[in-house]
Structure 1
Amino acid sequence: MSNLMMAQFNTTHSALMNEIKDVSEEELKTQPEGFNNTIHWHIGHVLTANEMFLFGFPENTEHLPEHYNDLFGYGSKPEDWPEDVPSADELAGQLTNQLKRIKQIPEEKFDEKLPKAVMGAQTFGELAALAAFHEANHVGRINAMKKVLNK
């Protein structure tokens, strides 16, 4: 993986872990007014989206349970969750393990052309850049939610 891309993933992962390190259980499950989801959901969503973008979840990877798509995929929401949702700590651990797997992606993979464009990305590298941007976007949302919750 290019040094620049790895630096971006390291930066977004560190920022996400920093944002969630002091969040209380109550804050994790509270959906502030004006927001569509909870901090807990955002953690799982980043994990699931990265797995989709970079590892072909759910068809091509066995690192996450398939039902994560129902819990954290686009359009999902905590109010529809069953009782047995993975904890935020479990999700954070899975994100850390995922980053290790991201670092193992061979550099030549990033030049591969995608079979079809995904959200404008033509190559796997462009898709990886989109995943890093997506993660950073959700870090910002978590930061904003924390500010609203701590007023």
Structure 2
Amino acid sequence: MNRTVGLKQFDLTRGALVKFMQTLDTETADKQPEGFNNTIRWHIGHVLSAAEAFMFGREFKHLPSEYPSLFGFGTRPSEWKTEGPSLEVLMSQLQEQAQRIKAIPAEAFEQNLPEPFLGLETVGELYGMMLYHEADHIGQMKAMKRIVEAEKVTK
């Protein structure tokens, strides 16, 4: 992936997530609509955690070490043993992470991964996967918000 195009796509995608978050209240973010496995807050944390793992490895040097157990694949808020981070904390972490991702040198995107992941072989390919993953979850969050808001009106 061309680094300039990738950065523009990342700005669009992460910007859309931040803008979407500004429309949320805690009640909406924490409501799990029927037919969905998680909440909007979970999806936000999942996007943050997945991007961290994709781009910086699984050590989580810049995010709380409990995030994989809160937001990893197969987790759900109904099974949390602790309260998740606030929307404000998640927003701040997403913005800080965006700066770290944008600071990755262009040459790093040509590096091979230690081993292929989902058929991806380079850091740049993994970056493209991160963008796809984030955009996919934004779509899910927008659908969930519409359902939650519609349920509020009918009650």
Q: TM-score, normalised by structure 2?
A: 0.92
Q: Distance in 1 between matches of 2:134 and 2:44?
A: 9
C-alpha distance in structure 1 between counterparts of 2:104 and 2:28, whole Å = 35
The alpha carbon displacement at 1:83 in A equals 3.3
Give runs of aligned pairs for residues 1-151 of structure 1, distance below 5 A: 2-58=3-59, 61-151=60-150
Q: CA deviation at 1:57?
A: 2.3
SS at match of 1:150: helix
SS at match of 2:104: coil
Q: Which residue identity is paired with 1:55?
A: F
Using the TM superposition, give the Cα deviation of residue 136 of structure 1 relative to its aligned residue in structure 2, in angstroms: 0.4
Higher mean displacement: 97-106 or 79-88: 79-88
SS of alignment partner, residue 129 of structure 2: helix
Specify every segment of 5 or more residues in structure 2 that has no aligned partner in the other structure, as ranges: 151-155
RMSD: 1.1
1:66: Cα distance to partner?
Answer: 1.2
Shift of 1:11: 0.7
Corresponding residue SS for 2:114: strand
Q: Which digits, 9 at most, give the CA deviation of each residue in 1:40-61, with x for residues without a partner?
A: 0011000000000000022xx4
Q: Give the drift of 1:84.
A: 3.1
Amino acid at match of 1:25: T
Q: Deviating runs (4+, > 2 A) in structure 1?
A: none
CA–CA distance in structure 2, aligned partners of residues 113 and 78 of structure 1: 35
Deviation at 1:149, TM superposition (A): 1.0
Check the 8 A contact 1:44/1:88 in 2, yes or no: no
Instruction: Give the CA deviation at 1:119.
Output: 1.2
The whole-number CA distance in structure 2 between the counterparts of 1:98 and 1:10 is 12
Mark the runs of 5 or more structure 1 residues left unpaired by the alignment: none
SS in structure 1 of the partner of residue 32 of structure 2: coil
**Equivalent residues, number:** 149
Identity of aligned residues (%): 44
